[in-house]
Amino acid sequence: QVQLRESGGGSVQAGGSLRLSCTGSEYTYNNYCMGWFRKAPTRLFEGVAVRTSGGDKKYAESVRGRFTISQDNGDNTLHLDMNNLKPEDSGMYYCAADYRPDHEYCSIDGAASLAYQGKGIQVTVTS
């Protein structure tokens, strides 16, 4: 059972930055689709960013150019660097992963459906 744990959330003013990290129980996630999705109280689950097994990175239109997904060289920690944050970025952020050696099956729309998910961490952006 893959276990994921998020860290790094908190509260920040609009225009500020935060870095989220996700540490996994597996040694490596080379053949995994890994990513982030979020949930705000009045909105549906929304995929934010994914990293395919091939190393490609995909972003939701709402965060492209502001958020960056990356992975440590050791492979078991995923990061989400969030810059120029906006109040509408507030919500619970979840790390997710699934064994997907075919990178075609790793998408923004599918981020919230990945099999393994962390418990989430709160991000609050104040205006």
Q: What's residue 104's pLDDT?
A: 77
pLDDT at 116 over 80: yes
pLDDT tens track for 57-99: 999 999 999 999 998 866 689 999 999 999 999 999 999 999 9
Q: What's residue 75's pLDDT?
A: 65
The alpha carbon of 83 is separated from its chain's Cα centroid by a whole number of angstroms, namely 14
Could you tell me if 35 and 93 are in contact, meaning their C-beta atoms sit under 8 angstroms apart? no
All residues at 6 or more sequence positions from 26 whose CB lies less than 8 Å from its CB, including other chains: 2, 32, 76
Q: What's residue 19's pLDDT?
A: 97
DSSP 3-state assignment of 119? coil
